[in-house]
Amino acid sequence: MPKVKIPTPLRQYAGGNAEVEVSGSTAGEALRDLTERHPELRNHLYTGDGKLRSFVNVYKGDEDIRYLDGQETEISEGDELSIIPSIAGGES
């Protein structure tokens, strides 16, 4: 099964795991499966209208899926997806 690597700040919502095995043949399916296994992750990964939050980056190997086929990016058995934070902020 493909795996998703969970960053430190989200592990508490994924049963403390650094890595979760998921099913699916695209990145979108894998992420959906991940949030079905660990529903508490949903609010931190997606906005209210179901879009991936802007500061949540999903990589397949070394590549951001935004620059591949996005949610449609194909994944297979041995693939590893990583959720990687970007950190943003400011004032007002």
Partner 1 sequence: MALKIGQGDLRNIHRHAEEAYPEECAGALVGMDVGEVKIVVDVWRAENTHEEERSRRFLIRPEQVREFEERARERDMDVLGFYHSHPDHPAEPSEYDREHAWPYYSYVIASVTQEGVKDVKSWVLRDDRSGYEQEELVR
**What is the binding site for Zn ion (CB under 5 A)?**
89-90
- Between residues 15 and 85, which has the closer beta carbon with respect to Zn ion? 85
Instruction: Give the one residue of 55, 63, 74, 80 binding partner 1; rule: CB under 8 A.
Output: 55
> Which partner from the list Zn ion, partner 1, none does 50 bind, CB cut-off 5 to 8 Å by kind?
none
Give, for 85, the enclosing helix (H) or strand (E).
strand 80-85
- Between residues 64 and 79, which has the closer beta carbon with respect to partner 1? 64
Count Cβ atoms below 10 Å from residue 32 Cβ, excluding itself: 16
Residue 92 CB, nearest approach to Zn ion (Å): 9
> Which partner from the list Zn ion, partner 1, none does 71 bind, CB cut-off 5 to 8 Å by kind?
none
Instruction: Give the one residue of 10, 52, 65, 81 binding partner 1; rule: CB under 8 A.
Output: 10
Dihedral sign of CA atoms 63, 64, 67, 70 in order: positive
CA angle 9, 22, 26 (to 5 degrees): 105
Using DSSP bridges, classify how beta strands 80-85 and 3-5 pair: parallel, antiparallel or unpaired: parallel
